[in-house]
Structure 1
Amino acid sequence: RLGLRLETKLIYAATRALVQLLLLGYCLLLPVFHAHHPLPVLAYLAFMLSVAGSEAASRPSYGYPRLWHSALASIAVAWSLVISYALLFVLKQDPWWQPQYLIPISGMLIGNALSAYSLALDRFLSMTRQQHTAVELRLSLGANRWEA
């Protein structure tokens, strides 16, 4: 027994997660799954991507202007390439936008892209911050921003 006294926090977190999932499933996903049109599915995917971009931009220790835009673009490009391949060559569903396949697979892909982007960006920004004198020295000696 470690004596961490996390029982109350764990119960609170589990209850909060349950309530959030129930609200998300009932209020947002139920209409999307019952719609017979790609527009609600694509709107929900855009919502997922924007939340992922916002989360990825908030995770690194350091940031820069318009970080949210680059995070959203990076995650969206990675997701669109993989989901296009999966829809065209692996799943071969008709219609391609069936929410019971597209939403869960997209959630997994977006979550993995979010984690990879956040880790890579945090590592890059922290290393750039730690080695800023070397970067500035290279720039002062004539290197362009990519060489520095």
Structure 2
Amino acid sequence: MVWKSSKGFKWMLISSVIVILLTGCSEEEVEEPEVIREGPPPLENPQYVDLGTFIVNMPGDKYFLKSSIQIAFNDPIPKAWMAARLPIVKDMLVTHLQTISVEQFDDLRSRPIIKNDIKLRINSLFPNKPLWEDTAPVRKILFSEFYRQ
């Protein structure tokens, strides 16, 4: 047989067995990194509503606040309910955005507070006994623009 007499083939076979033995691991030895996630779980089936861009005077009439806002829902039914009432939502947002002071805007720790305030205000517009399961259907407030001019 040719392959038995070939020294190159023997060395290749021996070296591949050694490599396999050295690199081989059992399934028990392989550990997957543990992912630690803080905060609420991600939305399973997010439904988004783009409310558009708002430009409002900040208190003091020296600056303008420009903000583009999107709302995330987990259920399409409250999204449709709110879509029929968008003028009310937009009016409420303009009124709220006009109250944000320059100091609040400049403090980055205020952004989550501002988002939470908007979320609470929008959720307060929904009926107390809705046709859907969740009594607070707005899950997230997203800013694609948020700056002063």
User: Is the pair's TM-score, using the shorter chain for normalization, greater than 0.5?
Assistant: no
Of the two, which has the highest radius of gyration? 2
Query: Relative to total residues, which structure has the larger strand share, 1 or 2?
Result: 2
Normalising by structure 2, report the TM-score.
0.31
Bigger proportion of residues as helix: 1
